[in-house]
């Protein structure tokens, strides 16, 4: 009961309500604009959060996360271009349905299923995060090491793209995390005499570079691209027939999305793809998928929004990001002096339940904004790239500079922009780099401290049941793509 009251706290604070309002609005705009999204937006807004108290700052970031994930559906349905990668599966049926003159119905279903998925995942978050945090009290350094390794191997199992490319990108992220002072010996590593690198490479320059600047370079190659826009009169609430057809799909995808979100390093994109394919598998009319199936939209959208709450579970309970955007939120927590983990649940329940409540309200707010304003938000895509991207560049540069007032950070951002562009061009996802960068420090720190505890005996890891479980799960995660490809081959043979 006390926790429920704590969750309602944002409703009684005009400041938090205002933050939620602007966060949701900003998140929707970011989600609608192809190439931008909650991860880039969160990274760009991070410097601005320094003017806010920790709760308002994290409420702002989480509302951007929730609304941005939904916003991608608007462009996916109306212009066949996912505003965010998590909305890619929505294009498959959203756009064909819109072409049939039912854009309002498609958007209505996307809005309802996103809201249900989002609220479902917040409920999961409220019940599951404290349980995981309780379990985390049993964790020592070896268990955290094994968990971080599990998070990294998950990149291979169900991440986007090629498993090996994802692992290489993750390893690259870990390599970047080793730049700077060795935390045990204080000796500079890979700094090549550049003093500014002694403190290591900041998370924000890498995120802004890999997402915003690399996208700017990508947009520079797509200038002759013409979007075909489908007209939208108004968003329509789903009919009773549509509800009857999709309620099972929405609930199933909400469950799938929440589960995928909880897994370390996996996010909305994977959730929506699995949610979509499961919707097709269970559908009575699978032949309609890809041609404008309302179940396809419901399956993808409920799953990607359900992943938001799920991804917050390991982020808050363990300090391990559940997705790329939660990695940004994790950075936000750290720069505001909040240390995620089990102690946070014991010491600052009002802070945590404030976030849970804010996420719940954000899901309701984006429903209202989406329902009444989708037509206006869709018009944002009319801002030409030749005007939009130079402006984003100016904000990226100033935002990156502002965190540590270092021009070197800006150059690092540009360098990672170029690296990110070529990674994408050759089929590497940039998300594993971010996960590797975040987990790298944890992997190295916990490994070295564990080895000190074990007196250098590696085999001692296997005497810890929780660590051993994570290692076995890591092996399964690594073997999973191999098994999956063999199963696929057998299926096609």
Alpha-carbon 123 to chain mean position: 18
Closest approach of another protein to the CB of residue 26, in Å? 15
Q: Which chain residues interact with another protein by CB under 8 A?
A: 47-48, 50-51, 162, 164-165, 168, 216-217, 220-221, 223, 384-387, 389-391, 393-395, 397-398, 401-402, 405, 407, 410-411, 414, 417-418, 425-427
Closest approach of another protein to the CB of residue 371, in Å? 32
Residue closer to another protein by CB (options 125, 410) is: 410
SS3 188: strand
Residue closer to another protein by CB (options 22, 243) is: 22
Could you give the CA distance from residue 462 to residue 465 in angstroms, rounded to a whole number? 7
Reported as type and span, the H/E element at residue 26 is helix 14-32
Contact 253, 117 (CB under 8 A): yes
Q: What share of the chain is helix, strand, coil (3-state, %, to 5)?
A: 80, 0, 20
Contact 369, 20 (CB under 8 A): no
Residue closer to another protein by CB (options 243, 411) is: 411
Q: Residue 300: how many CA atoms within 13 Å on its side-chain side?
A: 34
Closest approach of another protein to the CB of residue 409, in Å? 12
Closest approach of another protein to the CB of residue 277, in Å? 23
Closest approach of another protein to the CB of residue 388, in Å? 9
Closest approach of another protein to the CB of residue 172, in Å? 14
SS3 232: coil
Q: Which residues contact 468 (CB under 8 A, 6 or more apart)?
A: 146, 461, 462
Residue closer to another protein by CB (options 411, 454) is: 411
Closest approach of another protein to the CB of residue 219, in Å? 8
Closest approach of another protein to the CB of residue 410, in Å? 7
Could you give the CA distance from residue 242 to residue 147 in angstroms, rounded to a whole number? 42
Could you give the CA distance from residue 70 to residue 365 in angstroms, rounded to a whole number? 11
Closest approach of another protein to the CB of residue 394, in Å? 5
Tell me the DSSP string of 201-224: --HHHHHHIIIIIHHHHHHHT-TT
Residue closer to another protein by CB (options 122, 397) is: 397
Residue closer to another protein by CB (options 382, 387) is: 387
Closest approach of another protein to the CB of residue 376, in Å? 21
Residue closer to another protein by CB (options 87, 174) is: 174
Q: Tokens 């509800």 — which residue?
A: 243
Residue closer to another protein by CB (options 184, 383) is: 383
Could you give the CA distance from residue 330 to residue 321 in angstroms, rounded to a whole number? 7
Residue closer to another protein by CB (options 384, 456) is: 384
Phi, psi angle pair for 197, to nearest 5°: -85, -5
Residue closer to another protein by CB (options 43, 374) is: 43
| Buried/exposed 341-368: b ≥16 CB within 10 Å, e otherwise | bbebbeeeeebbbbbbbbbbbbbebbbe
Q: What angle do CA 265, 436, 195 make, to 5 degrees?
A: 145
């Amino acid at each position: 009961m006390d926790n429920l009251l704590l969750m309602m706290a944002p409703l009684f604070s005009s400041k938090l309500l205002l933050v939620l309002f602007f966060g949701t609005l900003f998140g929707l705009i970011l989600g609608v604009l192809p190439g931008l999204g909650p991860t880039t937006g969160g990274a760009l807004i991070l410097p601005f959060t320094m003017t806010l108290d920790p709760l308002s700052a994290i409420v702002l970031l989480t509302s951007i996360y929730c609304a941005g994930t939904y916003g991608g559906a608007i462009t996916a349905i109306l212009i066949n271009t996912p505003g965010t990668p998590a909305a890619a599966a929505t294009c498959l049926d959203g756009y064909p349905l819109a072409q049939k003159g039912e854009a309002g119905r498609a958007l209505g279903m996307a809005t309802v299923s996103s809201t249900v998925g989002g609220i479902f995942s917040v409920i999961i978050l409220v019940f599951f995060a404290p349980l995981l945090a309780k379990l985390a009290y049993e964790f020592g350094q070896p268990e955290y090491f094994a968990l971080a390794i599990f998070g990294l191997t998950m990149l291979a199992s169900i991440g986007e793209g090629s498993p090996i490319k994802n692992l290489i990108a993750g390893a690259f992220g870990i390599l970047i995390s080793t730049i700077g002072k060795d935390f045990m010996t204080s000796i500079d590593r890979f700094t090549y005499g550049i003093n500014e690198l002694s403190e290591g490479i900041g998370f924000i320059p890498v995120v802004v570079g890999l997402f915003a600047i690399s996208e700017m370079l990508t947009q520079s190659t797509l200038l002759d691209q013409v979007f075909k826009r489908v007209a939208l009169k108004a968003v329509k609430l789903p009919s009773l027939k549509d509800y009857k057809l999709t309620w099972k799909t929405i609930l199933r995808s909400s469950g799938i999305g929440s589960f995928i979100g909880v897994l370390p390093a996996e996010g909305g994109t994977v959730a929506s793809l699995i949610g979509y394919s499961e919707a097709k598998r269970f559908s009575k009319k699978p032949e309609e998928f890809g041609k404008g199936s309302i179940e396809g939209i419901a399956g993808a959208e409920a799953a990607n929004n359900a992943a938001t709450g799920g991804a917050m579970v390991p982020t808050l309970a363990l300090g391990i990001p559940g997705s790329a955007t939660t990695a940004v939120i994790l950075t936000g927590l750290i720069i505001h002096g909040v240390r995620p983990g089990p102690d946070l649940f014991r010491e600052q329940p009002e802070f945590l339940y404030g976030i849970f409540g804010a996420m719940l309200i954000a899901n309701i707010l984006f429903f209202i904004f989406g329902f009444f304003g989708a037509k206006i938000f869709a018009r944002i895509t009319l801002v030409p790239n030749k005007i939009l991207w130079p402006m984003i560049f100016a904000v990226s540069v100033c935002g990156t500079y502002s965190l540590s007032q270092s021009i070197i950070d800006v150059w690092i951002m540009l360098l990672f922009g170029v690296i990110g562009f070529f990674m994408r061009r050759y089929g590497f996802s940039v998300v594993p780099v971010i996960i590797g960068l975040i987990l790298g420090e944890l992997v190295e720190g916990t490994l070295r401290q564990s080895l000190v505890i074990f007196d250098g005996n590696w085999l001692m890891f296997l005497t810890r049941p929780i660590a051993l479980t994570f290692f076995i799960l890591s092996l399964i995660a690594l073997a999973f793509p191999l098994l999956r490809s063999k199963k696929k081959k057998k299926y096609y043979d």
